[in-house]
Amino acid sequence: MEPITLYHNPRCSKSRAALALLRSRGIEPDVVEYLKTPPSVAQLRGLLAQLQLPVREVLRRGEAVYRELGLDGPTLTAAALLQAVHEHPILLERPIAVRGERAVIGRPPERVCELLDD
Protein backbone atom coordinates (compact mmCIF):
# COMPACT_ATOMS: atom_id res chain seq x y z
CA MET A 1 0.00 0.00 0.00
CA GLU A 2 1.20 3.49 -0.80
CA PRO A 3 2.00 5.48 2.33
CA ILE A 4 -0.50 7.94 3.72
CA THR A 5 0.40 11.43 4.88
CA LEU A 6 -1.87 13.10 7.41
CA TYR A 7 -1.80 16.87 7.83
CA HIS A 8 -2.63 16.87 11.50
CA ASN A 9 -3.40 19.22 14.35
CA PRO A 10 -3.17 17.25 17.62
CA ARG A 11 -5.49 19.77 19.33
CA CYS A 12 -8.31 19.05 16.87
CA SER A 13 -10.71 16.24 17.81
CA LYS A 14 -11.49 15.42 14.14
CA SER A 15 -7.79 15.20 13.36
CA ARG A 16 -7.13 12.96 16.37
CA ALA A 17 -10.08 10.76 15.37
CA ALA A 18 -8.78 10.40 11.78
CA LEU A 19 -5.34 9.43 13.07
CA ALA A 20 -6.85 6.90 15.49
CA LEU A 21 -8.99 5.43 12.71
CA LEU A 22 -5.97 4.90 10.45
CA ARG A 23 -4.00 3.35 13.29
CA SER A 24 -6.91 1.05 14.19
CA ARG A 25 -6.61 -0.32 10.65
CA GLY A 26 -2.91 -0.99 11.09
CA ILE A 27 -1.81 2.09 9.13
CA GLU A 28 0.84 4.37 10.58
CA PRO A 29 0.65 7.54 8.49
CA ASP A 30 3.42 10.06 8.02
CA VAL A 31 2.09 12.75 10.36
CA VAL A 32 2.74 16.36 9.41
CA GLU A 33 1.95 18.78 12.21
CA TYR A 34 1.31 21.58 9.77
CA LEU A 35 1.08 24.26 12.46
CA LYS A 36 4.72 23.54 13.35
CA THR A 37 5.89 23.02 9.75
CA PRO A 38 3.54 24.96 7.46
CA PRO A 39 3.32 23.74 3.88
CA SER A 40 4.89 25.98 1.28
CA VAL A 41 2.70 27.73 -1.27
CA ALA A 42 3.80 25.12 -3.83
CA GLN A 43 2.86 22.28 -1.45
CA LEU A 44 -0.51 23.91 -0.85
CA ARG A 45 -1.10 24.12 -4.61
CA GLY A 46 -0.30 20.42 -4.84
CA LEU A 47 -2.72 19.61 -2.01
CA LEU A 48 -5.48 21.58 -3.72
CA ALA A 49 -4.87 19.68 -6.95
CA GLN A 50 -5.06 16.37 -5.09
CA LEU A 51 -8.21 17.47 -3.27
CA GLN A 52 -9.66 18.84 -6.50
CA LEU A 53 -10.85 21.90 -4.59
CA PRO A 54 -10.36 25.65 -4.92
CA VAL A 55 -8.46 27.35 -2.12
CA ARG A 56 -11.58 28.95 -0.64
CA GLU A 57 -12.96 25.45 0.06
CA VAL A 58 -10.10 24.61 2.43
CA LEU A 59 -10.20 27.82 4.47
CA ARG A 60 -11.39 27.73 8.06
CA ARG A 61 -13.71 30.72 7.95
CA GLY A 62 -14.36 30.67 11.70
CA GLU A 63 -10.77 31.52 12.61
CA ALA A 64 -10.18 35.04 13.93
CA VAL A 65 -7.30 35.56 11.51
CA TYR A 66 -9.69 34.89 8.59
CA ARG A 67 -11.74 37.93 9.62
CA GLU A 68 -8.71 40.02 10.60
CA LEU A 69 -7.14 39.56 7.17
CA GLY A 70 -10.43 40.12 5.34
CA LEU A 71 -10.09 36.84 3.48
CA ASP A 72 -13.76 36.86 2.51
CA GLY A 73 -12.99 39.65 0.02
CA PRO A 74 -14.19 38.53 -3.42
CA THR A 75 -11.31 40.22 -5.24
CA LEU A 76 -8.57 38.28 -3.44
CA THR A 77 -6.69 36.02 -5.81
CA ALA A 78 -5.98 32.36 -5.20
CA ALA A 79 -2.29 33.29 -4.92
CA ALA A 80 -3.05 35.78 -2.13
CA LEU A 81 -5.18 33.23 -0.30
CA LEU A 82 -2.49 30.56 -0.60
CA GLN A 83 0.09 32.97 0.78
CA ALA A 84 -2.24 33.72 3.72
CA VAL A 85 -2.62 29.98 4.44
CA HIS A 86 1.15 29.52 4.29
CA GLU A 87 1.69 32.41 6.71
CA HIS A 88 -1.23 31.41 8.97
CA PRO A 89 -1.55 27.61 8.69
CA ILE A 90 -4.38 27.61 11.26
CA LEU A 91 -6.52 28.65 8.26
CA LEU A 92 -6.09 25.24 6.64
CA GLU A 93 -9.00 22.85 7.09
CA ARG A 94 -7.98 19.66 8.84
CA PRO A 95 -7.21 16.88 8.81
CA ILE A 96 -6.08 16.27 5.25
CA ALA A 97 -5.06 12.74 4.31
CA VAL A 98 -2.97 12.15 1.18
CA ARG A 99 -2.18 8.90 -0.59
CA GLY A 100 -0.52 8.97 -3.98
CA GLU A 101 -2.31 11.48 -6.19
CA ARG A 102 -5.45 11.56 -4.05
CA ALA A 103 -6.35 13.52 -0.95
CA VAL A 104 -9.42 14.01 1.24
CA ILE A 105 -10.40 16.33 4.04
CA GLY A 106 -11.21 14.11 7.01
CA ARG A 107 -14.53 15.68 7.92
CA PRO A 108 -16.03 13.48 9.09
CA PRO A 109 -12.91 11.52 10.07
CA GLU A 110 -14.22 8.40 8.31
CA ARG A 111 -13.58 10.11 4.97
CA VAL A 112 -9.91 9.11 5.28
CA CYS A 113 -11.06 5.56 4.56
CA GLU A 114 -11.83 6.65 0.99
CA LEU A 115 -8.08 6.50 0.39
CA LEU A 116 -8.01 2.85 1.44
CA ASP A 117 -10.46 1.66 -1.20
CA ASP A 118 -7.90 0.92 -3.92
The values of phi and psi at residue 113, to 5°, are: -65, -20
| pLDDT value of position 1 | 74
Residue 87's domain spans which residues? 4-116
3-state percent breakdown (helix, strand, coil) of the chain, nearest 5:
45, 15, 40
Domain of residue 71, CATH code: 3.40.30.10
* E strand or H helix that includes residue 80: helix 78-87
Query: Which residues does the annotation mark as catalytic?
Result: 12
pLDDT digits (tens, 9 = 90+) for 8-32: 999 999 999 999 999 999 999 999 9
Check if the beta carbon of residue 72 is closer than 8 Å to that of residue 61.
Answer: yes
Q: Mind listing the pLDDT tens digit for each residue in 92-109?
A: 999 999 999 999 999 999
**Predicted pLDDT of residue 118:** 59
Axis crossing angle, helix 41-51 with helix 78-87, rounded to the nearest 10: 110
- 57-88, pLDDT tens digit by residue? 999 999 999 999 999 999 999 999 999 999 99
- End-to-end, the C-alpha distance of the chain in Å comes to 9
Tally of domains in the chain:
1
